[in-house]
Amino acid sequence: MSNRFRSIQVDFSPSTLGRGILTTSRLAWFLLICAAITWSAVIYRTYVHLHQQSQNEGAIRHLAAKAETESKIRASTRQSPLPLERVVAINKVVDQLNLPWSGLFDALDSLYFPNVAILAVEPIAPRSQILIQAEARNAEQMVAYLTLLKGTALFKDARIKSHEIHEADPNKPIRFLVESTWNKVPI
């Protein structure tokens, strides 16, 4: 007969935490690690979701405040339109500012006449006209300057609108006002 004995493990030492860790099976450790990883992933995803939701709510509040501000601005703009008279006056000023002043002054400088002094230049933008106030030593020089203006492509239909002899000056110069249609782009 054969003796077969079964071995029995008898442990009389008290149970401790260290002993419990050493005697735990590998399967139990594997399941514990998987549970810890899964739990960590759930906590992380919850944190990310709550953070995104918080950012979205902040963006929605910001957009709502911006839309409310814009609607107030639009409402206040609609309530106070500019009167037609003011719009017309603004457009007249814009027309005056849009005139090619440098081209006009260059053209007048190129028409230098030795005994004629230009005192004032006043454009009348809606009618494309210009008024030039000048002073000449005598009537012949005034007429010669007018002829010079008529000979240019920039000023057409030049004519003397008024003139007067300046009696207070010992030289008695003639002040005159020339009115002309102004071609804004020289030909």
- Per-residue pLDDT of 37-95, as tens digits, reads 999 999 999 999 999 998 988 888 888 888 888 888 776 666 557 788 888 888 877 77
Task: Tell me the CA end-to-end span of the chain in Å, nearest whole number.
Answer: 137
- Residues 142-181 have pLDDT tens digits of 998 888 888 887 877 888 899 898 888 888 899 999 998 8
- Mean pLDDT for 127-137 is 87
**How far from 184 is each of 84, 91, 95, CA to CA, in Å?**
28, 18, 12
Give the C-alpha separation, 152 to 111, whole Å.
9
Q: What is the average pLDDT across 102-124?
A: 82
| Residue in the block written with tokens 């603004």 | 90
What band does 34 get if pLDDT is binned at 50, 70 and 90?
very high
Q: What is the pLDDT of residues 5-32, one digit of tens each?
A: 788 877 777 777 777 777 778 888 899 9
| Nearest-angstrom CA–CA distance, 158 and 182 | 9
What pLDDT is stored for residue 47 in this prediction?
A: 93
